[in-house]
Structure 1
Amino acid sequence: MKALPLLCLAPLAAMADTTELGEVVVEAMKPGLGNYVTSAEAEDFERRDLADALSLLPGVSMTRVGARSESMVTVRGFDLRQVPVFIDGIPVYVVYDGYPDLGRFTIPAAGEIEVAKGLSPVLAGPNTLGGMINVYTRRPTEPIEGEVHTGAFTGGGWDAGLSAGGKQEKWYWQFDLSYIEQAAFELSDDFRPRPTENGGSRENSYYNDWRASGRLGWTPAPDDEYVLGFWIQRGEKGTPPYTGYDKKIVPRFWQWPQWDKDTYYALTRTQLGGDTTLETTLHYDRFENLLRAFDNASYSSQTKRSSFDSYYDDWTAGGSVKLENRTLKDTRIAAAFHYKVDHHEEMNRGAPKYTFEDETASTGIEAEHFFPWGSSLQAGISYDWRSINDAVDTNSGLPLTGDDADSWNPQLIWKHKFCDTLEGHLGWAEKSRFPTIKDRYSYRLGQAIPNPDLEPETVDHFDLGLDGSAWDNRFQWEVGAFYSRIDDAIQRVDNVAFTPAGAGLFQLQNVGEAEHHGIEVALGNKWTDCIETGLRYAWTHTENRSNPAIHITGTPEHEIFLYSKLQVHEKVKLIPSFVWADSRVISSTGKRVGIYASLDFKAEVTLPADCTLGFGATNLLERNQQLDEGYPEPGRSLFVDLRHEF
């Protein structure tokens, strides 16, 4: 649920001269080992959804919200409210609380993911406090191309997909269809039975999702392109009940029979003379959601006060315009304007409907000059603002107001190419995030007081990086260091008021100061034509300077990913991999979960007729572990899949 990312963002040529229409060059530097994942890499490591695929990158950590059965990531310690997600340049979020469930999103075939960490284009629009994530489908290059796949995995799981596209002289098309389901994942044999979970198949852990997406593009001239596209998703899932030892936590018996999202968009790029390009986007997104809370594990009655049916009916509509000019020698100048409306409706069965609506806009300018000695300097600034169209007090039903909010976002980046095999950058940026509807208006089940006048959070990023190659590009490496200072962070302040019974109520206020800093390393080495290895490592330290008793959650301090790709035979490839993350804080009170580690293995066999058979296992060591306390992860899981490319 997400009142964050701006509307439809136009592609930004931050480093390269040309980009795919709908692609957002989200990194201030070129795509590389530390910020770029392809769908082929996700397949190699059996990463089935967007959260799993993103966690292959250093500084991007997988998290779970167990009470909602949602998959998330943090980027250098910033959560998904602060790092918006875009698909084909279109924002993907749920309006209310800023948290899209990335477990609902499969990766399009031939798709690619780029992640900006801290530094991101100022022309991308508002709310990129900690960076941004973009998923996009490549334009087809052949008259007809694609793949079909199907597979099965432990727990009654199976998936299937079709991807097809074609390119003609002046037009192209791309279509993707996927389906995945699982009856229940299997727990580790080391799991100890609890009152709400007896082991074996995890209670209420079923899910199924299907997705259809397509793009139709017209290219009347080499530099002109006009695209119509859509994404349609349908899903349902259960939320496994709490199995931990915290007596204050009451197990929830929740199911989500509806998680439906439709997105329609148009992208254009028009060459206005030899040096000027105009890009526009329009989009409309609809999200409908139903959460059902039951009395107990039978999931058959709703008689208690804690039981309910909760409906969301949201839509977002917006557009953007970007103009880029290269008339001046070795200089690129660009300006952009974005506008969107976020509309949220919520209702419990038998209760009134409540409506909230925001308008958000952004305008920005950016210039980049390329010097003859191999350096470039990029400078830009954007101005973002948000106004409130509609809001209501959900206790009284009376209208609420709130202050309009605005923010400035300047950025400065220096890049230098020392030689053909070594490049570096140094950058500074000030970014911001507007608080979500939930941040401003929620009573938090009677535990809080709304604060309609919350101001934006702001952060100063400092980023330093080097990347290079050796041995005819067989060895590639990247190393970076970052420091982020957050001001006006939105944090809870306890006991601002009391209930008639004397219970203290909290409120979210702009009182926090925090620091995130760390180091990231990415290495890739192709030792021979048959042996490839890689390493991703991140050290991320987060600190709440204003109130150390309130912890920053979800990000392990140390995390490492190791892998090998071994071509042991002309038709056989072996892919072992290992991920390790140390203990992490999972609640603001300081509660922690232990080390997470998974040894995985995949084998691929090339078959006739352009088919590939893959099989293997995840969590081979059968570890009983958690990413959120009381919500155990799957034990050992076996899988097999078959793919055919055409």
Structure 2
Amino acid sequence: MKLKFIAFLLFPLIGFSQQNNSTPTDSIKPSNVFMLGEVIVTNHQNKDTLNRVTSKTMVSQNKMDVSRALNMLPGITLTASGPRNESMVSVRGFDLRQVPVYMDGIPVYVPYDGYVDLARFTTFDLAAIDVSKGFSSVLYGPNSLGGAINLVSRKPSQKLEYDGSLGMINENGYKGNLNIGSNIGKFYFQGGFSYLDRNSTRLSSNFVPTANENGGQRDNSYRTDQKISFKIGWTPTEKSEYAIGYINQQGEKGNPVYTGSDPLNSLLLKPRYWQWPNWDKESFYFISNSNFDDKNSLKTRLYFDRFKNTLDSYDDATYTKQTKPYAFESIYNDYTYGGNLEYNTKFIPKNDLKIAFHFKEDVHRENNLGEPVRHFIDNTVLVGIEDIYKVTPKFTVIPGVSYNIRKNTEAEDYNSTTKVISDYPSAGASDAFNAQIGFFYQLNEAQKLGATVSQKTRFATIKDRYSYRMGTAIPNPDLKPEKAVNYELNYTAGLFNKVTFQTALFYSKLSDAILNVSNVQPGKSQMQNFGEAEYLGVEAQINYEILSNLSLNVNYTYIERNNITNPNIHFTDVPNTKVMGTLEYKPIKILRLIANSEFNSSRFSTSYGARVPDYTLLNFYASGKIAKNFSIDAGINNIFDKNYCLVEGYPQEGRNFFVTLRFFNN
């Protein structure tokens, strides 16, 4: 099987070669961004390195999944759900329920709980990842309380272009990918295949063995992720484009057990023995932009997304039997379909006006093996208007407003004692208004200043409203949207053609926050619109071209999150301080050396105060071109073998290395 896989990846190298003097990580050019998949407010937004990760950066630092790639940006923190072995991020303190994830502007988050395991989303076929923080375009749609994340795919610019890789990760993992595209005037094709397999991750040598983990290779930490994607496009005119896309992701993973020492954590004495035999996603989409004339156009997105997931809970660490009361097999079989229309007109002088309509239906189907299937259906609609008003050549105002409504049309309850399915009491529709405005002033060619304020909302998920949380909670179908008002001041300056400085001050005030309220009934909690909170902080970034072949990037984030309603309940998973620095050196044209260091201060893991200590990581990467169409990349992560955690009781990987052979033709 592995030989066939290697042969498949190497096939495009036979008979094709092209002169190429670029370094390996420059092989994916900015022109390869699928612009139809972008959601941008201004034309300068996609040049903003505070809020965009390019494929060049992802490749050069071996960021194989979206969560690790996003962690390179200021304002974003790598987080995790340890008990579910899910990789996530926080954007200025907001989690992924409040910052939805899109692929080419199409929502891909899970219908049931609004989350998405970003480790399942590999980066091999991406051109860029865009992040909107706080002030996100109305055109994204509903639920962007704290912003939005958009994964942007590739578009070919030449008659034939390809790149790929074969690699080894430590001694028991391997990866490979191939991207191939063709642009022949009015038609283009882009396809991608990737495979990532690891038998396990290795713990730090400083890890102290526990009753549930003896150290060395982390038990039950395997993963396999395979992805196929393709896109066919037609550009009949310079300003009109039509594309059909397909993505198929198939994943499986283990779920390492809790190894901590928190006496209040129930997993200390009752560990979970979980495995996920499938985490599969399949997406079909159509995106178009039709220009009627120089001033009017219509953009369309239509999509169908299917999500299948199985969770197996076993008796013990042998992962062979399911006979205990806590053992089960849980099955999700969800799908989402919808679309949006975006009418753009420049009929009014100095104004670029967009009117948007979104519709989305989420269908969640769940059952444990041997039980009947329960159905949940939500419909969500948004109508929005956004304008770019050029007051003067240097001063721009961007207002936006939207009306959002969500209605549940089906929600079924199941009584495990009587084996009867019944309907939950009907709940009224939830609606919300969003409004925002941004002011942007170009001081001179090198300096820009901006100020924004936005009122955003998030509807409660199906899980928020209807989950019993394994018998410990009471459903609440009448949950209302939570709200946030986000403020930001930002500044960008270029100095001496060598230094770029960017910074942003931000403040968010949350109300009607959806929190888990304990002991609503003896021993049972409930999700309620209970809380008020505030998030505030600063992020900054400096890019310094020290020499023509030596550059430095440093970014810094400081954030405070205050629970106004109940200061004794702590917000989790986000450190107050994060600093990341990257030094890149090209001693000769065909060789690139990168040193990267990251510091994270201590963070809370539980609302009652358990926390993990701060940590500092040092990583090193090298890439050298060995022939006209080949390069070798190698690197070491966590050089000093730091034993650290993102969540208490779930240690991260110790020192690890990789070696990759890359091939390309442009």
- Out of 45, 59, 84, the residue aligned to residue 43 of structure 1 is 59
Closer/same/farther in 2, CA of residues 28 and 84 from structure 1, 3 Å limit: farther
- Say whether 1:497 aligns with 2:521: yes
> For the residues of structure 1 that align with 2:518 and 2:69, how far apart are their CA atoms?
38
> For the residues of structure 2 that align with 1:596 and 1:150, how far apart are their CA atoms?
31
What is the aligned partner in structure 1 of residue 27 from structure 2?
A: none
> For the residues of structure 2 that align with 1:597 and 1:155, how far apart are their CA atoms?
25
> For the residues of structure 1 that align with 2:351 and 2:34, how far apart are their CA atoms?
17
- Say whether 1:22 aligns with 2:37: yes
Q: Does the aligned pair in 2 maintain the 1:28–1:120 contact within 8 Å?
A: no
**Partner secondary structure for residue 569 of structure 1:** coil
**Partner secondary structure for residue 25 of structure 1:** coil
Q: Does the aligned pair in 2 maintain the 1:26–1:134 contact within 8 Å?
A: no
What is the aligned partner in structure 1 of residue 508 from structure 2?
A: 484
Could you tell me how far 1:27 is from its partner in structure 2?
7.9
**Partner secondary structure for residue 58 of structure 2:** helix
* Residues 26-84 of structure 1: CA deviation (Å, up to 9, x unaligned): 78962312101012101222211000000000011001111111100000000000000
Give the AA of the match of 1:434: F
Could you tell me how far 1:590 is from its partner in structure 2?
2.0
Query: After superposition, where does 1:259-408 map in structure 2 within 5 Å?
Result: 259-395=279-415, 397-400=421-424, 401-408=426-433
Give the AA of the match of 1:479: T
- Out of 249, 252, 256, the residue aligned to residue 276 of structure 2 is 256
- Say whether 1:470 aligns with 2:495: yes
> For the residues of structure 2 that align with 1:233 and 1:50, how far apart are their CA atoms?
14
What is the aligned partner in structure 1 of residue 571 from structure 2?
A: 552
* Residues 297-316 of structure 1: CA deviation (Å, up to 9, x unaligned): 00010110110000000000
**Partner secondary structure for residue 397 of structure 1:** strand
Could you tell me how far 1:136 is from its partner in structure 2?
0.8
> For the residues of structure 1 that align with 2:404 and 2:319, how far apart are their CA atoms?
45
- Out of 206, 209, 216, the residue aligned to residue 222 of structure 2 is 206
- Say whether 1:430 aligns with 2:455: yes
* Residues 457-512 of structure 1: CA deviation (Å, up to 9, x unaligned): 0000111100121222x3211011000000000112222112xxxxx211111010
Q: 608-617 vs 275-284, which deviates more? A: 608-617
- Out of 152, 157, 160, the residue aligned to residue 136 of structure 1 is 152
> For the residues of structure 1 that align with 2:369 and 2:284, how far apart are their CA atoms?
29
**Partner secondary structure for residue 43 of structure 1:** helix
What is the aligned partner in structure 2 of residue 240 from structure 1?
A: 256
> For the residues of structure 2 that align with 1:165 and 1:368, how far apart are their CA atoms?
34
What is the aligned partner in structure 1 of residue 534 from structure 2?
A: 515
Q: Does the aligned pair in 1 maintain the 2:554–2:579 contact within 8 Å?
A: yes
What is the aligned partner in structure 2 of residue 4 from structure 1?
A: none
What is the aligned partner in structure 1 of residue 197 from structure 2?
A: 181
What is the aligned partner in structure 1 of residue 442 from structure 2?
A: 417
What is the aligned partner in structure 1 of residue 90 from structure 2?
A: 74
Give the AA of the match of 1:631: Y
Closer/same/farther in 2, CA of residues 26 and 611 from structure 1, 3 Å limit: farther
Q: Does the aligned pair in 2 maintain the 1:295–1:307 contact within 8 Å?
A: yes
**Partner secondary structure for residue 56 of structure 2:** helix
- Say whether 1:584 aligns with 2:603: yes
Query: After superposition, where does 1:520-531 map in structure 2 within 5 Å?
Result: 520-531=539-550
Could you tell me how far 1:138 is from its partner in structure 2?
3.1
* Residues 133-189 of structure 1: CA deviation (Å, up to 9, x unaligned): 001123211111120111111151110000011111111111111000100111111
Could you tell me how far 1:352 is from its partner in structure 2?
2.1
> For the residues of structure 1 that align with 2:104 and 2:49, how far apart are their CA atoms?
21
Could you tell me how far 1:422 is from its partner in structure 2?
0.3
Q: Does the aligned pair in 2 maintain the 1:155–1:183 contact within 8 Å?
A: no
Q: Does the aligned pair in 1 maintain the 2:262–2:610 contact within 8 Å?
A: no
> For the residues of structure 2 that align with 1:63 and 1:27, how far apart are their CA atoms?
30
Give the AA of the match of 1:370: K
> For the residues of structure 2 that align with 1:372 and 1:533, how far apart are their CA atoms?
35
- Out of 608, 614, 625, the residue aligned to residue 595 of structure 1 is 614
Give the AA of the match of 1:351: E
> For the residues of structure 1 that align with 2:61 and 2:609, how far apart are their CA atoms?
32
> For the residues of structure 2 that align with 1:587 and 1:316, how far apart are their CA atoms?
32
Q: Does the aligned pair in 1 maintain the 2:396–2:440 contact within 8 Å?
A: yes
Closer/same/farther in 2, CA of residues 40 and 558 from structure 1, 3 Å limit: same
> Quick one: percent identity of the two aligned structures?
39
Q: Does the aligned pair in 2 maintain the 1:27–1:119 contact within 8 Å?
A: no
TM-score (norm 2): 0.92
Could you tell me how far 1:20 is from its partner in structure 2?
1.4
What is the aligned partner in structure 1 of residue 585 from structure 2?
A: 566
Closer/same/farther in 2, CA of residues 377 and 573 from structure 1, 3 Å limit: same
Could you tell me how far 1:19 is from its partner in structure 2?
8.3
> For the residues of structure 1 that align with 2:140 and 2:120, how far apart are their CA atoms?
24
> For the residues of structure 2 that align with 1:564 and 1:286, how far apart are their CA atoms?
42
Could you tell me how far 1:636 is from its partner in structure 2?
0.3
How many residues align? The count is 623
Could you tell me how far 1:525 is from its partner in structure 2?
1.1
Q: Does the aligned pair in 1 maintain the 2:105–2:140 contact within 8 Å?
A: no
Q: Does the aligned pair in 1 maintain the 2:34–2:155 contact within 8 Å?
A: no
Q: Does the aligned pair in 2 maintain the 1:598–1:619 contact within 8 Å?
A: yes
Give the AA of the match of 2:77: S
Query: After superposition, where does 1:81-100 map in structure 2 within 5 Å?
Result: 81-100=97-116
> For the residues of structure 2 that align with 1:642 and 1:574, how far apart are their CA atoms?
16
- Say whether 1:457 aligns with 2:472: no
What is the aligned partner in structure 2 of residue 8 from structure 1?
A: none
Could you tell me how far 1:97 is from its partner in structure 2?
1.0
Q: Which runs of 5+ in 1 are unaligned?
A: 1-17, 499-503
> For the residues of structure 1 that align with 2:520 and 2:164, how far apart are their CA atoms?
57
Closer/same/farther in 2, CA of residues 427 and 19 from structure 1, 3 Å limit: farther
Could you tell me how far 1:373 is from its partner in structure 2?
4.7
* Residues 394-451 of structure 1: CA deviation (Å, up to 9, x unaligned): 3463201222100000111000100000011101000000000000001111111110
Q: Does the aligned pair in 2 maintain the 1:417–1:424 contact within 8 Å?
A: yes
Q: Does the aligned pair in 1 maintain the 2:124–2:177 contact within 8 Å?
A: no
> For the residues of structure 1 that align with 2:274 and 2:34, how far apart are their CA atoms?
43
Give the AA of the match of 2:507: Y
Superposition misfits of 4+ residues, deviation over 3 angstroms: 26-29
Closer/same/farther in 2, CA of residues 451 and 184 from structure 1, 3 Å limit: same
What is the aligned partner in structure 1 of residue 166 from structure 2?
A: 150
**Partner secondary structure for residue 398 of structure 1:** strand
> For the residues of structure 2 that align with 1:43 and 1:585, how far apart are their CA atoms?
32
> For the residues of structure 2 that align with 1:597 and 1:42, how far apart are their CA atoms?
21
Q: 78-87 vs 365-374, which deviates more? A: 365-374
Q: 458-467 vs 106-115, which deviates more? A: 106-115
Could you tell me how far 1:549 is from its partner in structure 2?
2.1
Q: 38-47 vs 410-419, which deviates more? A: 38-47
Q: Which runs of 5+ in 2 are unaligned?
A: 1-32
> For the residues of structure 1 that align with 2:592 and 2:37, how far apart are their CA atoms?
34
Give the AA of the match of 1:263: S
Q: Does the aligned pair in 1 maintain the 2:34–2:153 contact within 8 Å?
A: no
Could you tell me how far 1:110 is from its partner in structure 2?
5.3
